[in-house]
Copies of this chain bind each other. A is one copy, B any other.
Amino acid sequence: MRNDHHLIALFLISLNCLGLAQDKNVEKWGVYELSLPGPTGGNPFVGIEFSAVFKQGNQTFEPEGFYDGNGAFKIRFMPNAEGLWTYQTKSNYDALDNKQGQFICVPPSSGIHGPVRVRNQYHFEYADGTPFFPFGTTIYEWPFQSDTMQEQTIETLKTSPFNKVRFLVIPPWQEYYIEGSKVLTCFPFEGNSKENWNFSRFNPEFFRRLERCILELKKIGIQAELILFRPYDNGKWGFDTMDRATNDRLLHYVIARFAAYHNVWWSLANENSYIEHLTDEDWDHYFQVVQRCDPYHRLRSIHNADRIYDHTKPWVTHVSLQYYMAVRFFGVSPLLRDIYKKPIIHDEINYEGNRDRRWGQLSGEEMVYRFWIAYIGGAYATHGETIQRPNNPDWISVGGDLRGKSPERIAFLRKIVEQGPARGLDPIDQYYETNMAGQSGQYYLIYFGKESVKEWAFKLPQKGLEPDMRFRADVIDTWNMTITPVEQVFEIEKLNPYTYIDRKQSKINLPGKPYMALRIQRLQ
């Protein structure tokens, strides 16, 4: 594509002759923003249709625009290819209609890999083909905190293992947003209480703050999983009982504002079934609205409470699951993969903390154990921390700093996963050998969990193996974060239709304590 720059320059000259506006350059996967003055009277949030068709060659995208207050109507577009892009607006309001222009998309800055998508059915990659292995954390309310707190959260994230953050688009009702030091003054809609919301007018200031959070995450290479709807209201603000027209408008607005940012993921809801008046058919509808409005098809999921949505539906890109037992036992994630045939992210596996509720009292050991169980199952997990501090809500609520024992061990796991096969970890033999993942014939990660194993006879499932292949091994202490190479080369022979073993029937010594793993890698 870069060889075409001269041709593009020529093109531009000709297009200029045709009187098309030419704008500044935009990086590939960056955002081109078009701002036009529109009507300020009446309600500019309702009834103004506004979009633009962006074209390059056979590619066409039609993002919708949004009203950003002060008479400004904006359209944001993320080009996915270098070279010349042209656009033309469409609107039922004359001053916004039929505006044409063009811009040049230049190569991305170093370190920018583009949006994340599904690859190999069960995994993820960036648009440039770089694998993306999700290691998420949840900070539900961080967009609604003070600037200082948000800055602290970003600083914490920079040195954390986390590359995805889940958070709410709509603030949950909390006592501390009504009185105390965190009183909320800025809401998604005009108004400041249940009595005077104007659900047909958004508050652009609120969304600009949210936007800043997305951009801060983008800057440090972290995916922003926006949770679009949530139940946590207790009848106080009524943000969970809005009607379909309002919900639809909110979706259009959020997508128009944020979809162009390449680090955005959509989570339709947190604990969706706790929004009691919405049926699965309603969720089908909202998924389809997102699918239709988002021209880039950012990742789409939904997070369950007691009723699990049917993740086999075509608009669900990956499974976002809250089901704690699924990360307590080996083999469950492979089953989920086989059922859903999509990537599995255990987005809520209980939290490391000291809350008095049982979902918020995991030990660091248990959190790390559950992470390993998930990844060894060919799935992914999301961290959360509920270590309460005096006068300060915990990480999963507001962010700030991390105090748990799990994050550095999750970082250790992440390093192992990223040094592992680019295709990711897949179950090796999900019906019988449930504690093993990797890529058959090449790479095996074996996790012993809570078992205290003293030795491991070298033995691998037959798939992908041939006699005389050679392997090396490392003993991994997942808690103390050590990797100890085994001073031996293992050369295999077939034992039976299912199994290869080391020719010398070698065993690997293990320290007889829990949370140990083995890494077996083929020598070429």
Q: Which residues of A contact B (CB under 8 A)?
A: 307-308, 310, 312, 323-326, 328-332, 334-335, 338-339, 357-358, 430-432, 434, 497-498
Contact = CB atoms under 8 A, between A and B. Distances in A.
B312 A430 contact: no
Given A328-B331, A331-B325, A432 B358 contact: yes
A250 to B, nearest CB: 29
A202 B312 CA distance: 39
Given A335-B332, A339-B308, A339-B339, A325 B358 contact: no
User: Which among A330, A338, A358, A431 has the greatest number of chain B C-beta atoms within 10 A?
Assistant: A431
26 contacts: A307-B338, A308-B338, A308-B339, A310-B312, A323-B335, A323-B338, A323-B431, A324-B431, A325-B331, A325-B332, A325-B334, A325-B430, A325-B432, A325-B434, A326-B331, A326-B335, A328-B331, A328-B434, A329-B330, A329-B331, A331-B332, A332-B332, A332-B335, A339-B339, A358-B432, A358-B498
Q: Give 4 nearest A-B pairs by CB, closest first.
A: A325-B331, A329-B329, A308-B338, A324-B431
A335 B329 CA distance: 12
Given A312-B312, A358-B498, A432-B358, A335 B331 contact: no
Contacts of A307: 338
Contacts of A498: 358
B310 A432 contact: no
A303 to B, nearest CB: 14
Nearest to A499: B358
A8 B330 CA distance: 62
A345 to B, nearest CB: 16
Given A326-B331, A329-B331, 4 more contacts: A324-B432, A325-B330, A325-B332, A325-B434
A325 B330 CA distance: 9
A173 to B, nearest CB: 21
Contacts of A326: 331, 335
A327 to B, nearest CB: 11
Contacts of A430: 325
Nearest to A496: B356
A324 B432 CA distance: 8
Contacts of A497: 357
Nearest to A339: B308
A11 to B, nearest CB: 45
A329 B373 CA distance: 14
Nearest to A326: B335
User: Which among A312, A328, A339, A432 has the greatest number of chain B C-beta atoms within 10 A?
Assistant: A339
A332 B434 CA distance: 14
A334 B323 CA distance: 10
Contacts of A312: 310, 312
Contacts of A331: 325-326, 328-329, 332
Nearest to A310: B312
Contact of A325 (B308, B310, B431): B431
Contacts of A432: 324-325, 358
A404 to B, nearest CB: 21
A324 B323 CA distance: 20
Nearest to A323: B335
Nearest to A331: B325
A201 B358 CA distance: 65
User: Which among A324, A325, A338, A432 has the greatest number of chain B C-beta atoms within 10 A?
Assistant: A325
A21 to B, nearest CB: 49
Nearest to A329: B329
A324 B325 CA distance: 17
A307 B112 CA distance: 37
Nearest to A338: B308
Contacts of A434: 325, 328
A175 B358 CA distance: 58
A374 to B, nearest CB: 14
A477 B498 CA distance: 35
Contacts of A323: 335, 338, 431
A331 B434 CA distance: 15
Nearest to A334: B325
Contacts of A329: 329-332
Contacts of A357: 497
A413 B329 CA distance: 25
A307 B341 CA distance: 9
Contacts of A324: 431-432
Contacts of A339: 308, 339
A357 B431 CA distance: 14
